[in-house]
Copies of this chain bind each other. A is one copy, B any other.
Amino acid sequence: MLAIGVDAGGTATRAVVTTLDGRCVGYGVAGRGNPVSAGRPSAVGAVLEAVGAATVSAGRALSEVSVIAAAVAGQPASGAGAESLQAELSAAGFTGRVVFESDLLATYFSATASGNGYAVVSGTGACAIRVAEGRIEATADGLGWLLGDRGSGFWIGQRVAEAAIRDLDGVGRMTALTRAVLDHLGIDPQPRPGAERSPELEELVSALYALPPIELASLAPLAFRCVEDPVAAGILRRAGERLAESLLAVLTEPGPLVVGGGVLFRSGPVRDAFTGRLGGSADRLDVIPVEDGVVGAGLLALRAGGLPPTREALARLTETLALVRRSSVHGAPL
């Protein structure tokens, strides 16, 4: 018998096939699977694609899989997305059970098997959770790009765009982000003498409004690239502080703190400001960065099959997944 864990993220969807003792025997990747940012039909498609790729990589059939845990943002445990996923998996020969879990819980269990602790995830969106007895007990933020997601990739990218615009508009500080944003968007206009505003500014504003708003998150990496620039560093520091504030809103007892998502994973101004803003609370936390939530999704699949997360299963799945990833046929960085 096998279990499959799927981590449906804002930029990629990853699936792991595991034996009941936590040995990874297959792994697959597909496009973005976050139902909020990708739209529900394409999210279901990404989950199916990742599951398919993982079973092919395992050389096994879907009929051998007894449970699939789909860790997705917003936990669509009911509704059209859940039904259509179950229906499509059945059509592909799957006879087992699908359970839906939070992508945040998958990130959490990718780094620890402890039933009690915290996770702060900042990718395209941002959220903090408190985990108690293996379930999410409290959540802060995770409210989406329009209303929250403070300290997320979107939040950073929007501020990068604003910094470039305010520089070009002559009301903000000069910043290396301006050139970086213009280059990123391929904007290189001809000078127009006598124009009321710089032609770069008008082209930049038009280009940004032509994108779906969530795509501002694609500007976040520019802040990390311009980290020597005071404006960029300031944005990153404020992102770290906002993320710490979300964590502080759910923080009670000491425990492991899993930090996930591209924004918090690397060291630098975000992590420094995050730790600084936590102050004394940081000493009571065992901080573990984690790259994605696929191992935790695997553990959640095993839990749905009656096997609660253990240190041993976590370690085994992490190690064997690394081996499978390394030996992937294409050798492409995943």
A: which residues have CB within 8 A of B?
136-141, 143-144, 146-148, 158, 161-162, 165, 169-171, 196-197, 205, 208-209, 213, 216, 245-246, 249
Determine if A165 and B138 form an interchain contact, defined as CB atoms under 8 angstroms apart.
no
Q: When chains A and B are docked, how far (Å) is the Cα of A308 from the Cα of B63?
A: 81
Q: When chains A and B are docked, how far (Å) is the Cα of A16 from the Cα of B141?
A: 48
Contacts of A249 in B (CB 8 A): 169-171
Determine if A146 and B158 form an interchain contact, defined as CB atoms under 8 angstroms apart.
yes
8 A-B pairs within 8 Å (CB atoms) are namely: A139-B197, A140-B171, A143-B169, A143-B205, A146-B208, A146-B213, A147-B158, A169-B249
Closest residue on chain B to residue A164 by CB atoms: B147
Closest residue on chain B to residue A161 by CB atoms: B147
Contacts of A197 in B (CB 8 A): 139
From B138, B141, B196, B205, contact of A144 by CB (8 A): B205
Determine if A162 and B147 form an interchain contact, defined as CB atoms under 8 angstroms apart.
yes
- Least CB distance from A73 to B in Å reads 13
Q: When chains A and B are docked, how far (Å) is the Cα of A169 from the Cα of B143?
A: 10
Contacts of A144 in B (CB 8 A): 205, 209
New A-B contacts (9) at CB < 8 Å, excluding given A140-B171, A147-B209: A136-B196, A138-B196, A140-B169, A141-B169, A143-B169, A143-B205, A146-B208, A148-B162, A171-B249
